[in-house]
Amino acid sequence: MEDDMAQDAEKLGTILSAASVVPVIIHDDVATARNLAEALVAGGLVNIEVTLRTPNALKVIEEMAKVDGAVVGSGTVRKKDDMKASADAGCQFMVSPGAPVKLLEDAEDIGVPLLPGIASPTEAMAASLLGYTYLKFFPAEAMGGAAVLKAFASPLPDIKFCPTGGIDMEKAKAYLKLPNVVCVGGSWTVPAEAIAAKDFDTIRTLAADAAKLSA
C-alpha cells in the first residue's frame, strides 16, 4: 500500500505544524461560532478542532470555515459517516480518538486527511503499516504523558505525534520539546466559562499565549 493512499502526510504535516497548539472545542452555538474562530485565529491559533459531540457541530464547523485564516477540522470522528459529513462541512483535517483498522481503511475514500488516535506502540505500528505518519497520542496524560512519547521516539522514529488529553499550558511545554511531537491538542485555550460569557477577548489572549509555545 502506498503511503499517500492512507494519509496525505505532507498536507497534514503542513497543517499541524502551522501552530504548536490545536484548540479542541465542544461548541453547539452556531451564532457565536465565527466569533470564537476569529478570536483563536487573531491570537495565532489557526488550526481548530471542533468535536462532533454536539447536535450543531457540523454547522459550527461550516461557520468557522468561513473565517479568514482558520483551518478547521472535526474531532471525535468514529465512523465513515462522520468523515463524509466532515468533508461536506468543509473540514481540512479530521481527528479520531482511536485507530480501528476499518476507520483507517475507510479514510482512504475521503479527500480529507485523518489524524487517528493511538495509546500504545502496537497501535502506532498498526497505523504506520497502513501508511499513517502522523498520529494523535490519546489520552496523553492518562497514558503516561511526555515520558511515554519520549520512549516512542527511538523505536518509532518515522512517526510524529499530536498528544491530546489532560494537557495544559505548562504540560504542553514538556511535550513540545520532544523531537517526535509536531503540536499538542488542548482545551485550555477555550474555557467553557469564557465561551458562555462570550468573552472572546480572553480567548484571544489565551490563544496568543499558547501560540508563543514552539515545537
* Residue 3: per-residue pLDDT: 42
Nine-digit cell string for 93: 483535517
Which member of 49, 62, 63, 171 is catalytic? 49
Nine-digit cell string for 73: 477540522
Look up 49 and say whether it is catalytic.
yes
Give the predicted TM-score (pTM) of the model: 0.96
Q: Where are the domains of the chain?
A: 3-206
Look up 136 and say whether it is catalytic.
yes
Cα–Cα distance, 212 to 215 (Å, whole number): 10
Q: Which residue has the cell 458562555?
A: 196
* Residue 119: per-residue pLDDT: 98
Cα–Cα distance, 77 to 55 (Å, whole number): 14
Cα–Cα distance, 147 to 137 (Å, whole number): 12
* Residue 4: per-residue pLDDT: 45
Task: Name the 3-class secondary structure at 111.
Answer: coil
Q: Which CATH number fits domain 3-206: 3.20.20.70, 3.30.470.30, 3.40.50.1000, 3.40.50.620?
A: 3.20.20.70
Q: Average pLDDT of each block of 10 consecutive residues along the chain (215 residues)?
A: 66 96 97 98 98 98 98 98 98 98 95 97 97 97 98 98 98 98 98 96 98 87
**Own/partner pairs for 76-84, CB < 8 Å, 24+ apart?**
76/51, 76/52, 77/52, 77/103, 77/114, 78/103, 79/103, 79/106, 80/106, 80/109, 80/110, 82/52, 83/107, 83/110, 83/112, 83/114, 84/110
Which member of 38, 62, 63, 136 is catalytic? 136
